[in-house]
Amino acid sequence: MSLDPVQVMSGQVKELKVGPSSNGDSRGSWEEKEEIDQDNVGLTTKPKPPKPENAVTVAVSSRVLFRTEREQKVFEQDGVEEYLRFQIEHENEPFTPGPAFPFVKALEAVNCRLRELYPQSEELFDIVLVTYNHAHVGIRLINTINHHNLFIERFCMTGGSSPIGYLKAWQTNLYLSADADKVREALSEGIAAATMFTSEKVTEVSESQLRVAFDGDAVLFSDESERIFKAHGLDKFFEHERDNEDTLLDHGPLKGFLEALGKLQKKFYAKGQRLDCPIRTYLVTARSAASSGIRALKTLRAWGLEIDEALFLAGAPKGPMLEKIRPHIYFDDQMFHVEGAAEMGTVAAHVPYGIAQKHNAKQNISVRK
């Protein structure tokens, strides 16, 4: 199976039925004032976006939040002017959900729970829509967001320019895009990022609990151990892990995002809701538990990070395990695992980081990562 961020697939992401949220005109201000929205009942106060310094900011490309293959085809075949004309002519037609849509809905569901427990807190997920589009396309995007009842107030429409500088200004904790080059650029700037794909098969996911699954090496951790494996083989790798059992692994590109999730989890724990927490995290690694897993677990504990579930597969395929977990998103640095997960219906995102990027994933399957 070959995944392409812009290829047209037959399946569509199903919309999640979570608690409703309102959305009005897009605003770029971080003012303290309350926003008042007029609905068909009367005046109601809607939640205001948190300040970036307080929030867990997730920047999402319009091409992964929504399905835009038809529009992309117009752009590629007919050029930018025809593309803009097409978007304006169809601005009252909402885009359909894309691969990141269930993830974003789950983030909003967590926010609803947080606001119930901490009405004044700004420690929330904040979603920023990032697009290369011209501002003219913003009307269609706003119409689509309102149609799907999303609460996204922050837009970044760059008119073809790179968004990476803006991501740093937003203090972005995670960037999801269909553009692998921009994802690599974000990673090089220290921003957690991953490439998302539109898949043929999509599994239904939880409507009440955000589930995020991570690979270990070159995702949560550095690629140090993988480099040993690639250079010297499996036996040397096991020896290296035993000798360094009490030496912490260095951090990988997604460590900070797991840390941000853990910070929000602890807010639920503080209210006695550990067993009913709407955020659940998973480590899904091809490492073996007895021979190389202990170093990974000791590293997470030393970092003060909790993983709700850890699966050490000892080289077994990840797809069947992920099918049972049904995460809203799974992060892996090897396309072989991303494709395998997608074949089982998991929304998987590629983290192009580390030594594995120099090898063809299908010819270099790691039995311990």
Residue 360 scores a pLDDT above 70: no
Residue 3's pLDDT is what?
Answer: 53
Band (pLDDT 50/70/90 cuts) for residue 242 is confident
Task: Summarize pLDDT for 304-346 with one digit per residue, the tens.
Answer: 999 999 999 988 999 999 999 999 999 999 999 999 999 999 9
Among 311, 316, 356, 101, smallest CA distance to 219 is for 356
DSSP single-letter state for residue 338: H
**Joined tokens for residue 309:** 């579930």
Using CA atoms, how far apart are residues 245 and 110, in angstroms rounded to an integer? 36
**Among candidates 107, 68, 355, 48, which has minimal Cα distance to 223?**
355
Least confident of 7-16, 55-64, 170-179, 196-205: 7-16
What pLDDT shows up at residue 87?
92
In the chain, count H helices and then E strands. 13, 14
- Residue ranges of the domains in the chain? 52-196, 210-367
For the stretch 142-173, pLDDT in tens is 999 999 999 999 999 988 888 898 999 999 99
First to last CA, the chain: 21
The answer to whether residue 239 scores a pLDDT higher than 80 is no
CB 22 within 8 A of CB 151: yes
Residue 363 pLDDT greater than 90, yes or no:
no
Mean pLDDT (whole number) for 92-116: 96
Dmax over Cα atoms in the chain, in whole Å? 69
Task: Write the DSSP assignment of 280-310 as a string of letters.
Answer: EEEEEESS-IIIIIHHHHHHHHHHT---SEE
What pLDDT is attached to residue 315? 85
107: pLDDT strictly greater than 50: yes
Q: Is 215 a catalytic residue?
A: yes
- Report pLDDT digits (tens) over 63-91: 999 998 999 899 899 998 998 999 999 99
Residue 251 pairs in a beta bridge with 221
pLDDT in tens, 110-131: 999 999 999 999 999 999 999 9
- What confidence tens digit (pLDDT) does each residue in 263-311 have? 999 999 999 999 999 999 999 998 888 778 889 999 999 999 999 999 9
Backbone φ and ψ for 130, nearest 5 degrees, come out as -115, 130
Going by C-alpha positions, the residue among 57, 50, 173, 171 that lies closest to residue 121 is 50
Helical segments of 48-120, H only: 62-65, 69-78, 80-89, 101-117
What size, in residues, is the chain? 369
Query: How far is residue 186's CA from residue 163's CA, in Å, rounded to a whole number?
Result: 9
Quickly count: other Cβ atoms within 10 Å of residue 26's Cβ. Answer: 15
What's the token pair of residue 235? 């036996």
Quick one: average pLDDT of 196-221?
Answer: 92
> What b/e readout covers 45-78, taking b as 16+ CB neighbours within 10 angstroms?
eebbbbebeebbbbbbbbbbbbbbeebbebbeee
Report residue 193 CA to chain centroid gap. 8
Angle (CA) 271-272-273 rounded to 5° is 95
pLDDT for res 47: 76
Residue percentage of the chain with pLDDT more than 70: 84
Q: Output the pLDDT for position 125.
A: 97
Who contacts 161 (Cβ-Cβ below 8 Å, separation ≥6)?
Answer: 132
Which pLDDT belongs to residue 359? Answer: 62
Which CATH number does 210-367 carry? 3.40.50.1000
Judge contact between 197 and 99, C-beta under 8 A: yes
Q: What is the pLDDT of residues 177-205, one digit of tens each?
A: 999 999 999 999 999 999 999 887 888 99
pLDDT band at residue 45 under the 50/70/90 scheme: low
Residue by residue, DSSP assigns 200-233 as S------SS-EEEEE-TBTTTB-SHHHHHHHHH-
Q: CATH number for the 52-196 domain, one of 3.40.50.300, 3.40.190.10, 3.40.50.450, 3.40.50.1000?
A: 3.40.50.1000
- Active-site pick, 126, 215, 217, 333: 215
DSSP assigned state of 120: T
- Residue-level pLDDT at 7: 42
pLDDT of residue 136: 84
Q: Which helix (H) or strand (E) holds 132?
A: none
Rounded Cα distance, 283 and 248, in Å = 17
For 107, the token pair is 């983030």
